[in-house]
Chains A and B, each alone.
Chain A
Amino acid sequence: MTGAPALIEVEGLAKSFTLHLRGGLVLPVVSGVSFSVHPGECVALGGPSGVGKSSILKAAFGNYAADQGRIWVRDGDTRIDLASAAPRTVIELRRRVIGYVSQFLRVIPRVSARDVVATAARDGGADESEASATAERLLARLNLPERLWSLPPSTFSGGEQQRVNIARGLAGRHAILLLDEPTASLDAENSAAVVALITERKRQGAAILGIFHDLPVREALAERIIDVSAFAKASKPAGVAA
C-alpha cells in the first residue's frame, strides 16, 4: 500500500455499555483501539466471540456511539471523525463512502429484493437504469434465483437473505466496506462468489474491514488480522462516562 492515505483510521476508540436497567452495570467492551485500513487492503478483526469485534465494526458505521477516541473516515480530500460527526454527516457518508454488511438482513418491509439492492446503488450515485442493472448483476452473481428478485426478502431463507444483504452492501461502490460475517450462512459455492466479489472490490481500491470466522474465507481475503483481545478487558474499564 504505497503512500495512499488510509481510508479508515481508528484512534484510541473505547466502547462500553452502561445497563441502566441493571443498576447501572457497566460492561466494558474495548478501549484503546487503534488501527488503520488503506485502499486495496482487507483487515480482519480477530479474537473469540464476545470480545468486541462487532462493536468496533458498528462504531465504524456510526451505529454505536464511541465513548472515547476518533474514527477518521476519508471522503476524497477530507477526513471526517465519524465518532463526533453530526447525524446528517453520518447519513451522507453511509450513502457514498461507507458500506456495511450486517450479520442479519434488516430491510424495509414489503420492498422487493431487487429494489433493496437498487436503492443502495442509487444512493451511491447510480441513475435509475444503472441501479437496477447493478442490482440484477449482483443478485445473479450471488446465485439468488431470478424468481425471487421481485419478492420482499422477509420470506427468504437465511442464506438467501444474506446474499441480498451482501448485494446491497456492495451495490453502492463505497470506498470503505465493513463486513460482519458476510459468509456466515452460505454454502461453499455462494461463499466463493462472495469472496470473488470482495476481491474485485479490493482490487478497485476499497478498504475492507471485516469479521470472518470462516478460516478459508479469511485467508483468501485478509492481509492482516487485528486481535481484538488485545483491546478487551486487559485495559481498565475506567474513564467511561455513565
Chain B
Amino acid sequence: MSATVTATNGAEQPLLVADGVTKYYGERLGCRGVSFEIHPGEVIAVVGESGSGKSTLLALLSQRLALSAGRVSYRQNGHLRDLAELSEAERRRLQRTDWGFVHQDPREGLRMNVSAGANVGERLMATGWRHYGRIRQTANEWLARVEIDTTRIDEPPRSFSGGMRQRLQIAKNLVTHPRLVFMDEPTGGLDVSVQARLLDLIRELVANLGLAAIIVTHDLAVARLLSHRILVMKDGEVIESGLTDRVLDDPAQAYTQLLVSSVLAA
C-alpha cells in the first residue's frame, strides 16, 4: 500500500514464516500456497470445515508431515532457519522443547498407561532433566496449574475424564516453556461445560506465558475467544485472513460469509 508506518516494536521479528506451504497426497490436494507469519505472543486461528486442509496445514507447519512445496522457517537463536534443513535430531529437539502440539484426542498426545506425573516428566527428561525430585515437583506444579488434583499424580490418564486428559496434555506440552504451540481442535469432543473451562485455561495460559499459538478449530466462537488473527481455509487454500473481529464481523469472501452466517450468534 502506501507509506504506512509500522507501529512500535518494528524490530520484533516473526517467529515462524510459512511461505507457499503446499501438500499433495498423490493427486489429491491437501493444502496449497499458504503463506503467513506469526510473531511471538500471537495467536492465530485456522478455521474452515472438515476437509478444508486445516489439519494438514498444522501437520506441515509442525513438521509432522513433509511439504510437497514451499517452506517453513522458524527463528532460533535470532536466525530464521528453513526447517527442511534441520537434521532429524534437531527437528525432534525442536518438537520436544520449543514447540508444543495439543491433539484433539488426548490419547494421541499422552501415554495412557503411565502416570500423569510421568507423562509430564517425560518431556523434561527428554530435555536433559535428570533429578527425579525436581522433575516430580515440576510435574506437580503443572498439574496444579491446569487444575488437576495433585493427589492423582501417580494415576494414569486412562482413569481421567476427557477434560482432565486434555488438561494433562496441555501441561505436558507447556512444561518445557515452548514458544509456539500447535493445537488441533483442542476443545473438540468435550462437553460444553468442560469445553468452557478448558477454553478459560488455554486463554489464561497463552496470555500469561506469552505463547504464540496456531489453533485449528471449526468453532468460530473458539476462534473469537482465543485468537488475534484468523486464516479461513477452503478447499486447501487460505481464502481470507485478517484481524479476528474484522473477519468475523465484516467477512469479505462468500465462503466466510457463509461460515459466519451459519452459526448462532455467540
Contact = CB atoms under 8 A, between A and B. Distances in A.
A154 B213 CA distance: 28
Interface stretch (B157-165, B183-191, B252-260): B252-260
Interface in A35-88: 58, 62-65, 70, 75, 78-81, 84-88
A21 to B, nearest CB: 6
B200 A80 contact: no
B243 interface: yes
A91 interface: yes
A84 B4 contact: yes
A83 B200 CA distance: 32
A92 B243 CA distance: 12
Interface residues of A, number: 29
Given A92-B9, A110-B196, A80 B254 contact: no
Given A85-B4, A87-B228, A110-B200, A18 B252 contact: yes
Given A63-B249, A87-B242, A80 B5 contact: yes
Given A21-B254, A88-B228, A110-B196, A63 B7 contact: no
Of the listed residues B1, B5, B242, the one surrounded by the most CB atoms of chain A closer than 10 A to its CB is B5
Interface in B227-244: 228-229, 242-243
Contact of B243 (A17, A18, A62): A62
Interface string A103-146: 00000111000000000000000000000000000000000000
B4 A65 contact: no
Contacts, number: 70
A62 B228 CA distance: 13
B6 A86 contact: yes
A160 B224 CA distance: 24
A230 interface: no
A178 to B, nearest CB: 14
A87 B5 contact: no
Nearest to B38: A88
Contacts of A17: 250
Interface of B: 1-2, 4-9, 39, 42, 196, 200, 203, 225, 228-229, 242-243, 245-246, 249-250, 252-254, 257-258, 261
Given A89-B7, A92-B8, 19 more contacts: A58-B249, A63-B245, A64-B249, A65-B246, A75-B7, A78-B7, A80-B4, A80-B6, A84-B4, A86-B6, A87-B229, A87-B242, A87-B246, A88-B39, A88-B42, A91-B228, A91-B243, A108-B203, A109-B196
